[in-house]
Amino acid sequence: MATMAPTQSQPQTKREGNIADSFASLSGGNQPPLPERFLDLKRSLVAGHEDRVIESWNRLLAQLKQENAILAKDKSKVIPILEFSTLDEDLIRLRSDIKKRGVALIRGVIPESEARSYKNEIEEYVRQNPSTKAFPQDDPQVYELYWSKPQLKARAHPNLLEVQSKLMNFWYSSNPESSIALSQTLTYADRLRIRQPGDAKFALGPHVDGGSVERWEKHGYGLGGVYDKVFEGSWEDYDPWDASGRVSAVMDNYNGLGACSMFRMFQGWMSMSNSRAFEGTLLVNPLLQLSTAYLLLRPFFHPLKQSKDVSKEEYLAADNWAFSGSGMTSELQGATPGHGQELNSELHPHLELDTSMVHMPEVKAGDFVAWHCDTIHAVDSVHQGQSDSSVLYIPICPVTEQNAHYLVRQRKAFLDGTPGPDFPGGEGESRHINRPTESYLKSYANPEGLRAFGFEKLVVSSSDNPGARMVTKKVNEILGF
């Protein structure tokens, strides 16, 4: 077997770069076929239960056909919308919708005027520091900024911390001894986007973050058996909200630029502007369980007749798709080591991405959008609006040992003004004028915010299960408390 690239357990300083380096489609260059070891891996995942996998695939295609028809008709109407002012009631009322869709829009989390001021502050910070890296560098849309004052203020905002904590309750651990605590959230320092009208360069198509080939690798997500039910031929029994297997899963086996090594239960962004469909906003595939199962099983099947030779209905029909068996290759459609998992209509036809990727409903400054870490998402290929579409990327991360080790490194990066450990390296903001310091953070954040950043001891709750209490104590040791 080939020697593995470094993982997050073997941290290395990453070269400089930008968000394009996270995705094969943005970074360019030819992607060679995956090594033969991936063929051996694929065969081992389904060995002995091939018939069950085939039956499962056929059930999946039938279910996808039904659900895709609903999305094509209802579009953004399927996205659960909550109000921060009635958050508890809305979380109860929309619980089943959020679990099915894997996404939620929470309105009014931060006052609109405050959220708008964030963007103005960031733009001034960039003006003061023209060396700030961005993508594309000649017409910036996504900035390599991690430590601006607005980013710190948003991450530590009490309202957002409340939303994050309550959204984590959608997750659970089937193993009470599992080393994860869901009562507190840890901060993950990500980038920001100020996308200008007319931009077509930040055209990031359907993708899933948190690795790519790692989803199939036994020393990746396989370490926690996250997707075992899917590979065993019973995708209906796969629960995307069970966190127990993800605690030990490895999401970055190749030290990719921007490949996430921290367990983010949800990805998310805080809006600093108003935006609607086709105005540079987010699109998601709101079929969490089905799309994940399809993505994982697609590499084991091939079409008998090609799309150019038959109608769409004939091409997608279950009887046109055969288990590859002895003709199987090493391909994992859209998966490239060290990059995010990408999807498209040619490689993943049954997802019908042209109609199943739905826009966020209209968002205003101060609204927060969260989506499950396995949710397929994209951005508008062209920003057709009249004003900028601006967001701060802020995911939701639980307390685990792996996350704590990352937080220690991230805390140092904050103090040094360099990018977070997952991101492209270089001097970052270390020499930026008016970069906020530890004293600034401590003057702004409350104790909950300081705990999230790793600057204050986590609380061990008597109501936590044994695994949660144990890991919280361990994490405090890792953080130096």
The token pair that represents 5 in the structure block: 């690239």
For 331-358, write each residue's pLDDT tens digit.
Answer: 999 999 988 899 999 999 999 999 999 9
Q: 248 lies in a domain?
A: yes
For 64-90, write each residue's pLDDT tens digit.
Answer: 999 999 999 999 999 999 999 999 999
Q: How many domains does the chain have?
A: 1
Q: Which residues contact 45 (CB under 8 A, 6 or more apart)?
A: 216, 231
Facing residues of 82 across strands? 106
The CATH number for 181's domain is 2.60.120.330
Give the CA distances from residue 24 to residues 39, 290, 334, 367, 418, in Å, rounded to whole numbers and listed in that order: 21, 25, 9, 30, 25
Q: Name the band, by pLDDT with cuts 50, 70 and 90, for residue 10.
A: very low
Q: Name the band, by pLDDT with cuts 50, 70 and 90, for residue 6.
A: very low
Q: 27 lies in a domain?
A: no
Q: 272 lies in a domain?
A: yes
Q: 286 lies in a domain?
A: yes
Q: 6 lies in a domain?
A: no
Please return the burial class of 147, using the count of CB atoms within 10 Å of its CB with bins 0-12, 13-18 and 19+: buried
Q: 398 lies in a domain?
A: yes
Facing residues of 301 across strands? 323
Q: 8 lies in a domain?
A: no
pTM score, whole prediction: 0.93
Q: 15 lies in a domain?
A: no
- Structural domain of residue 205, as residue ranges? 36-479
Q: Name the band, by pLDDT with cuts 50, 70 and 90, for residue 22.
A: low
Helices 288-297 and 50-74: crossing angle in degrees, nearest 10, is: 140
